[in-house]
Each structure stands twice: as structure tokens, then as C-alpha cells.
Amino acid sequence: MRRYKPKVKAPDPLLLGETNRILREESLTTVCEESACPNRAECYARGTATFMILGDTCTRACRFCNVKTGRGEKADPAEPMRIARAVKRLGLKYAVITSVDRDDLKDYGSSQFIDVVKAVKEVTPKVKVELLTPDFRGEEEALERIVRSGADKLAHNEETVRRLSPTVRPQSSYDRSLSVLRYYAKRFDGPVKSSLMVGLGESEDELLETMEDLLDAGVRELTVGQYLQPSPSHIPVAKYYPQEFFEKIVQKGEEMGFESVMAGVLVRSSYYAEKL
């Protein structure tokens, strides 16, 4: 099997160093740093970053994800303002807020998302905020909080095709994710986005069917990227796709009716989030 090794620009050590210093001082976690995302320096330079709230411990154990599993700590009431300060200090123009799954919390952590949006908008009113949320177990009260949060864009990731979903995300549900996206699309005035990984064993037909399901649910922005195995204990990569495949997916998505499609080997759910 031929393995494609995409090239990325060497990160600016001064930019990364300054960013990490501010994150440490504010006791914050970004998905960019936690995952050592190859795009992080590029995103920082464009004024975009993805913050992970509600701790670094997830109550679920998806087989593709490198976040540790367990019971998290209580929501920190000071976290929203720390994020707001960091957004201002980093000079961000666009902030993506996501979280681990917190099935142990009464509201699944939905109130913390609202508080973060409020704090960021108070400190930096011109900054756009995207919420990349868990499924909140499909609980409508939690979803309604997100819809009314004041965010500029909502997102929830389907991750993979229907057949593989029970294996890849055993504690989640393909149809529940579709219902979350459908709820957002019907009640939220702004754009709704989702993301898929490829290389888990899906066929091209299955991928296109999933894209159709997302479009039918009201998703208008889509990202598609290559799955990369975080460690030997995670689900293995079944296939590495060439860049030409992703270019084809962009074309197919646009033909289907998506307003924006971003696809590539190193594309992740928040990549070029501000431009989609």
C-alpha cells in the first residue's frame, strides 16, 4: 500500500511559543495543541483557534479519538472569561469552541458553551464564534440553548458512514447526529457544518450516501479529511487517499448542493472555519 505523506510548512516557533505562553497563563486547552495539528501555525497566523472547554476527559471512548476517557471535573465558572481574555490577547478574528462529551453533567455541558459565547462577545464583540458541539444525547433543551447562544455558526461532526459508526463511535449514533444537525438547521439562522473522516474502511458510495444524508439534514458546509491513527490502540487506517480523491469529493459535494466543501489529506473539522 502506498502511503501519501503530505507536506506542510514548518511552524513559526515564535508564533507557537507566544500562543502556548498565553494558553498556559490562562490555563486553557486548544484542540490545535492537544492534537499537535499540522495546520495550527497556519490557523494561528490567520487569527483562528479552536478551544476545548469542560476539561480534557471525555465520558465516551470513540476508537478514533486520542482524548482520555473518564469522569471529568465540574464545569469551571471562570473558564469562559479566561477564553475571552485569550481570544483578545491572541488577536483572534474567529474562535471555534468545542468540548469533550460530558454525559456526566446534568445539561451535558451546554450551559458552558453559552457562557463562553457571552464572554467572548462581551470582550471582543467583532470576533466570530463557531460552536462545534457534542450530541448532548439529543436532549432538546441542551440543543435549544446552543441555538440561542448567539454563536455565528453551529457544527456537529458525523465523523463516518452509517455502517462504520457503531464500531468507530460505539457510544454515539449516526441517526442521533443527523437529528442534532437537523435541529440546528431548522432553528438556527446561521450556517450549519459537519465533518467526515475517510480511511476507516468506507466505500466511496457509502461516503456519498452520508454526504446526501447530511445535506438532507440541512448541513450546508462540509469538511472531509484523512483519518490518521493516533496510537496502536486506536482503530487502524484502512486506506490512505491521494489528494486527487479529495478534489473529486469537493466537486461531488458542490454538485450535490453544499454551499462550501473543504477536503484534503490534512483537512480537519475546523480548518479554514472562518472562510467556509
- List the beta bridge partners of residue 159: 196
The pLDDT value given to residue 5: 43
pLDDT at 62: 72
Q: What's residue 2's pLDDT?
A: 36
Residue 274 DSSP label: T
pLDDT at residue number 23: 74
pTM of the model: 0.88
- pLDDT, one tens digit per residue, over 105-147 is 999 999 999 999 999 999 999 999 999 999 999 999 999 999 9
pLDDT, residue 168, reads 92
Q: Is the dihedral of CA 186, 176, 58, 201 positive or negative?
A: negative
Look at residue 1 in the predicted model and tell me its pLDDT: 32
* DSSP states along 188-245: -SS-EEEEEEE-SS--HHHHHHHHHHHHHTT--EEEEEE---SSTTSPPP--PPPHHH
What are the counts of helices (DSSP H) followed by strands (DSSP E) for the chain? 10, 9
The DSSP output letter for 138 is G
Which positions of the chain have pLDDT values less than 50?
1-6
170-193: pLDDT as tens digits: 889 999 999 999 999 999 999 999
Burial 29-58 (b: 16+ CB within 10 A, else e): bbbbbebebbbbbbbbebbbbbbbbbbebb
